[in-house]
Chain A
Amino acid sequence: MQPKYCRVKTWSAATEQKFDREKKQSRLAGSVDVLALGVLLMLFVMGGGYLYSVNQTAVHGYQVRSLEKELHALQQENTELAIREADLRSLHRIEASTSELRMQKAEATIYLEARREQDPLVLRDISSRFSVR
C-alpha cells in the first residue's frame, strides 16, 4: 500500500535509455572532477616546488652576501697588515734600532777582486793597488 504523500511513477524503455545516458554523463562529470583535482594537486606541488626554489635562491643570495662581507673584511685585514709591514720597514725605525742591535755604520769600503778564470774561490786583496796615505 503506497503512503499518502507519494506516488510511484513508471517509465518506458525510451525513458530508461534517457536515464542511462544521463547516468553516463554523470560518470564523465565525475572523471572531470578527478582531473580537475589532479591538476589542482599538480599546481599545488609545482607551486610548492617553485617556492622552495625561490627560497633556496634567496638563501644562497644571503650566503653570497655574507661571503662578500667576509671577503671584504679579509681584504681590509690584508690591507692593514701591509700597512703595518710598511711601518715596520720604515728606515727611521730601522735606523733607530741599530743601537739595540749593536750595529755600526761601515765607514771604509775595500773592494776585492776575484779572478774567476784561475781560482774562483780565491779573493785577491787589491788594497795594495791603492796608495793609502
Chain B
Amino acid sequence: MRAHGAEIIRPKMKKREKISFGDEWRMRGLFLCVLLVGVSLIGRLYYVQIVDHKKWKSIAEDQHNVFQELSAERGEIFMRDGDGWYPLAVNREYKMAYVVPKDVTEKERVAAELSAIVGIDIEEIRGKVNRPDDPFEIIKKRLTEDEEERIRSAHLTGVAFLPEKYRYYPAGELGAQVVGFASLGEDGGAGGYGIESSQDNRLRGETGMVSQEKDAGGRWIALSDREIVAPRHGADVVLTLDRVIQYETEKILREAMEKHKADRATAIVVDPKTGALLAMASLPQFDPNEYSKVEDYSVFLNPAVSLSYEPGSIMKPITLAIGIEEKKISPHTEYVDTGVVKISGYDIRNSENKVYGRSTMMKVLEESINTGVIFVEKLVGNQTFRDYFERFGFGKKTSVALPAELAGDTRNLSNLRSDIQFFTASFGQGVTVTPLQMVMAYAALANGGILYKPAIIDSLIYPDGTKEKMVPEEVRRVVSKETSESIGEMLESVVVRGHGKRAQVSGYRVGGKTGTAQVAKSNSLGYEEGLTIGSFVGYAPIDDPRFVVLVKIDNPKDVQWAESSAAPTFGRIMKFLLEYAKIKPTESVVSKE
C-alpha cells in the first residue's frame, strides 16, 4: 500500500506497575473522607439556608437593618392678628450639650469653661467629666444661642450637641390659661390644661416608622429597600381670640386688679352675633414657658370656665327678660317696694335696706332692687322661671372647647315648692354660674334672643393644607327680638341713670348691669364676712351690639361695690373695643374738661 502520510512515533512507556492493595484502600478511604466532609458541608448549608432560612434571615435583618420611629410634629396654636395669625404655641429646637467623658483630654479646662458658660457648679461638671466608663453625660438642656456659640468657640474635645424639640410660647403670659402648656415627646407630646389639653388629640398626630439597611459603619444604605410609614403630623389650631383685644383686656384688667388689690380678676369679650370669644383674660397669670416653676397650681385653672360663683345682681336682667318674654311685665310696669319680702321665716331686703316705694321695672334695674325681681319671679312662677333658667344655659356646660368646664349649680331650683330658693335665684344668689355662662346669656339678650355655643376655635389647618373653618353654632332661641330690644333699653338706663354710670363710654350707647355678690362659705352655711365679688356685664352699641363684655373682680380691698371696681374696668375695655373696631360714635361726646 502506498503511504499517504507519515509521523514519527515515539517509543511506548513501560507499563505501569500495579498498585498494592493497601495503597488502593488508603486512596479510597481518603476519597470517602473528602466525600463525607463535602456531604456534611452541603447538608449544613442546606439546613442553614433552606430549613432555618427564616431564623437567620431575621437575625441578619436585625443586624443589617436600622429601625427608627419617626416623631410626629405637634400642631401649633395661633390667635387672630388682623388678617393674619400670631403664634401662641410653636415647636422650637434647642440644643442640649453633652460630654463623652472618655474622649475628654483636658478635663479641668473643659469643666471650668463649661461651668463658666452654662452657669452650673464646676464640681458637678467635674464629676460628670471624670467618669471614664460613662459614654454620655448631659451637661445642660435648652441652651441659649449665646451659650451654644460660646461652647463651640471654646473647641472643647469630648463636648457635643444634640437637638431637642420643646414647646415654646412666644406670647408668654398672653392668654396663658386659655392656651395651657405641653411637653413634647416622640408621639407629639402631651398637653396639660387649656387648648393644649382639650385639643391634644388633634395637636398630637401619629408617629411613623422607617426601616432600612445600614452598612458596617451604621450609615443608611441609600440604594437598599426602605420601608417607610410617614408620620401624621398634628393639626394647627387657630383660636378666635384677637391678639390686640386680648392684650389690651389683660392690661386693663391687670391695672384694675392692682388698683383694687383684688384676689383675682376675669374678663371675657364675646361677639354676640357668632358666639366667638375675642378675649378671655384671667389674673393672676403664669408663663407657659416656665410652667414647671409655678408653685400654686391653681393658677393653671381658667376661672372663666372652671370656677363658678353666685353672680348677684347681674342675674336681674335675666329675670326681667323672662318676665317680659312671658308678657307678665313691660319696662314700665309698676309695683310698690316696701323694702322687704318675707318668706319661710326669712326677710329678703334690698341692698343697704333701702325702700323705693312705687317703682317701674326700669327703676328696678337702675337701682338694683331685690324685691322688684322677686315681684317678677312671682308673676312668672317657679316652673317657668326654672325652664328659662335652663334655656339661658345655666346649670349646664356650654361645651366650649376648653377643659375642666363647670356646669354651675342650680340644685336649689330642683324643689319647685321652695319659693325662697327661687326668690334668691332671681337676684343671683343661691345658684352658681360660670362667667362664661353669664356672658353667653347676655350675648343672647344682645343679638335678638339667640343663645350661641361659645366658640374658642376659629379653624383647624391639617398637615396636608386643608382647612376646616368652624361655623357658629346656634343652641336655641331663648327670648324674642322684642324682648331683647326692651332689655337693651333697660340696660342702657342702668348705665345712664343707674349704678353703671362709670361704665359709660362717651359717644356710644352702652348698656349693662352691676352685681356685687357675697361669697358663700366653703365649709359651712352662710356667706363670708367682708368678701365680695364685683361684676359688670354689658354690651354696646345698644342698637347694634358688637361686643359683650363681662368683668369680674374678686374681693377688691379698697371698694365694696361693683360700680366702683368692675364697672369702670368694663368702661375702659368697651371704649377700647369700640375705637379699635372703628365704630362711629352716635351720641354726644361728654368731655371731662
A interface list, Cβ under 8 A from B:
5-13, 15-16, 19, 54, 57-58, 60-62, 64-65, 76, 79-80, 82-83, 86-87, 89-92, 109, 111, 130-133
Contacts and interface: CB of A to CB of B under 8 A. Distances in A.
B172 A83 contact: no
A80 B172 contact: no
- Secondary structure type dominating chain A contacts: helix
- Secondary structure type dominating chain B contacts: loop
A89 B244 CA distance: 12
Contacts of B244: 91
Contacts of B168: 83
A131 B587 CA distance: 10
Nearest to B85: A86
B34 to A, nearest CB: 30
Contacts of A92: 172
B222 A10 contact: no
Interface string B197-223: 000000000000000000000001111
A62 B170 contact: no
A65 B87 contact: no
B425 to A, nearest CB: 41
Contacts, number: 92
Nearest to B78: A86
B11 interface: yes
Interface residues of B, number: 37
B5 A90 contact: no
Contact of A132 (B91, B243, B585, B589): B589
Contact of B6 (A8, A54, A57, A130): A8
Given A7-B9, A10-B3, 15 more contacts: A9-B8, A11-B7, A58-B223, A61-B223, A65-B222, A79-B93, A83-B90, A86-B87, A90-B170, A90-B172, A91-B243, A92-B172, A130-B588, A130-B589, A133-B591
Most chain B beta carbons < 10 A, residue from A76, A82, A109: A109
B293 interface: no
Nearest to A77: B93
Interface string B408-438: 0000000000000000000000000000000
26 contacts: A5-B10, A6-B9, A6-B11, A8-B7, A10-B3, A10-B4, A11-B3, A11-B7, A12-B1, A16-B5, A57-B222, A58-B222, A61-B222, A79-B91, A79-B93, A80-B92, A82-B90, A83-B90, A86-B90, A86-B171, A90-B171, A130-B585, A130-B588, A131-B589, A132-B591, A133-B591
A7 B11 CA distance: 8
Interface in B147-198: 168, 170-172, 174
Nearest to A19: B5
B86 A86 contact: yes
A5 B1 CA distance: 25
Contacts of B15: none
B18 interface: no
